[in-house]
Amino acid sequence: MDLLHSAVRFAHTHRSRSTIPLHTRRRLFTVRASLPFPIQKAKYCRELEAAVNVVERACYLCVDVKSSLLFSDGRIVEKNDQTPVTVADFGVQALVSLELGKLFPSIPLVAEEDSSFLLSNNLEDSVVSAVSDKAGIEDKPLARDDVLKAIDRGAKEAFVFGSKPATYWVLDPIDGTRGFLKGSEALYVVGLALVVEGEIVLGVMGCPNWHNDFSNEFISKGQENEENLSGSGVLMVAHIGCGTWTKRLSYTLNSWTRCLVDGCRLVHEARFCISDSQTWESLPLSASVNATTNANSIEDNQILLLPTCCGSLCKYLMVASGRASVFIHRAKVQRIIKVWDHAVGMICVHESGGKVTDWKGSQVDLAADKDGRRIIFPSGGVLVTNGNLHDQILQIISSSSSAV
């Protein structure tokens, strides 16, 4: 009954979007994306406009696929690493690849999926259908081979980079696919970033199912940005030197709001996020301070651990927006840290006043992976903070490591 209730509520919420005539949706999707700052300030304004436009479309692709998933026996299959994947993952990658390939044909794409898995599970027709609705191509339908090639552009092109840093897009089609499959009560993010000579210069994150319940759950008293991330879905954008901004996900143009990290300066007053697959006890900070998920009964020597939301990028979104003070992620020997899980989040946090390093305080080096630009190698793990707490937490990590 809970799943049926969620499905009915989800369909009711998004009914007006899904029933917009196809030709109208395509016309709306061709509107030039607005930016929150004068284009003269942004060196990569053309790239950012394109990224905002296509990520917004990708979010609505996810909404449509998710709606059909809840009401039918929609395909839910698993990749070799046991991560659930749906046509939405492939549809987003195909859509982004097609649009960016058309506008910026010389810029490669680094992305997660490849068509071999798609073909082996007979999902290609469903993906073509999902992408055709959002691709804005009115004169002719998308060809199956075009969609497959677009997916593989993200899976294979990066291997031609060589050792020299290059300009390339980094895409996570859906970060938090398990959250995508849980229904409307779990967050997931579409994340896109542009890297130039080893530096992340812009990023766009779309979270289609952020709503007021999440705002109430995650925000403590004194937060000034409550309206910024409430409503149905959110877009977050960042451009080097221009800050981080948010607006509600909408078919109509609406205003942007500047996004800043919180001002917390004391570790015991901070709000923490950790990876879904990790426990507080597995982290070095647990030796010095305990954690609770109950905001109403925090005791001495306890910190508030926010309820988990699937994927890493939503935790970056939480820190960049001031909802959380810290996101700490521990590297595991058996699990490789992929660039698409962190790149767009890193620039959003940096441009909102926060800081991202490994556990030794060194910058995360995107060029360390010489060939595919897919893997990052942070020492110990990744530490994301509001900046004020960064050195304190690094010191705790160092002290805990020395004690061991």
Token couple for 389? 């707490």
What CATH number should be reported for the domain holding residue 67?
Answer: 3.30.540.10
Q: Tell me the per-residue pLDDT of 190-199, one tens digit each, with 9 for 90 and over.
A: 999 999 999 9
pLDDT score for 102? 93
Give residue 136's pLDDT: 62
- Residue 326: which CATH number? 3.40.190.80
Based on the fold, state whether residues 28 and 109 are members of the same structural domain. Answer: yes
Measured distance between the N- and C-terminal CA atoms of the chain, rounded to whole angstroms? 49
Q: At what angle do helices 45-71 and 87-103 cross, to 10 degrees?
A: 160
Query: Helix H segments across 72-220?
Result: 87-103, 115-120, 124-132, 144-156, 177-181, 212-218
Least confident of 22-31, 93-102, 237-246: 22-31
Instruction: Report the pLDDT averaged over residues 106-111.
Output: 92
Whether 320 and 343 share a structural domain: yes
- Is residue 395 within 8 A of residue 403, CB to CB? The reply is no
Please say whether the dihedral angle defined by the alpha carbons of residues 366, 368, 370 and 375, taken in this order, is positive or negative: negative
Q: Check whether 4 has a pLDDT greater than 90.
A: no
User: Following DSSP, what letter does each residue of 106-124 receive, concatenated?
Assistant: TS-EE-S--HHHHHHTT-H
- Per-residue pLDDT reduced to its tens digit, 128-173: 988 987 876 554 678 889 999 999 987 765 555 666 668 999 999 9
- The pLDDT, as a whole number, for residue 174 is 92
Judgement on whether residues 113 and 11 belong to the same structural domain of the protein: yes
Note whether 229 and 297 are same-domain residues. no
pLDDT at 225: 45
Choose the final residue of a domain: 237, 259, 281.
Answer: 259
Whether residues 81 and 229 fall in one domain: yes
Tokens of 368: 């360390």
Of the residues 211, 234, 259, the one at which a domain ends: 259
pLDDT tens sequence across 299-355: 777 889 997 677 899 999 999 999 999 999 999 877 889 999 999 999 999 999 999
Residues 207 and 140 in one domain: yes
Choice between 261 and 63, residue whose per-residue pLDDT is larger: 261
- Please tell me the predicted confidence (pLDDT) of residue 370: 78
Work out the pLDDT band at 276, boundaries 50, 70, 90. confident
Question: In which domain, by residue range, is 9 found?
Answer: 2-259
H/E segment holding residue 58: helix 45-71
- Decide the pairing of beta strands 271-274 and 326-330: parallel
246 and 100 assigned to the same domain: yes
Q: What pLDDT shows up at residue 115?
A: 87
Same domain, 220 and 282: no
What pLDDT is attached to residue 6? 34
Q: What is the pLDDT of residue 27?
A: 32
Domain end (from 235, 259, 283)? 259
CB environment 116-136: b (16+ within 10 A), e (fewer):
ebbeebebbebbbbbbbbbbb
> What average pLDDT is seen over the chain?
80
Domain count, the chain: 2
Same domain, 221 and 368: no
Active site residues: 89, 177
Sequence-ordered strand ranges (E) for 213-335: 234-239, 243-248, 257-259, 271-274, 290-292, 302-305, 326-330
- Of residues 60 and 3, more confidence is placed in 60
Rounded distance, CA 90 to CA 113, Å?
7
Distance of CA 104 to the CA centre of its chain: 22
Task: Assess whether 251 and 315 both reside in one domain.
Answer: no
Q: Are residues 228 and 283 in the same domain?
A: no
Task: Check whether residue 226 and residue 284 sit in a common domain.
Answer: no
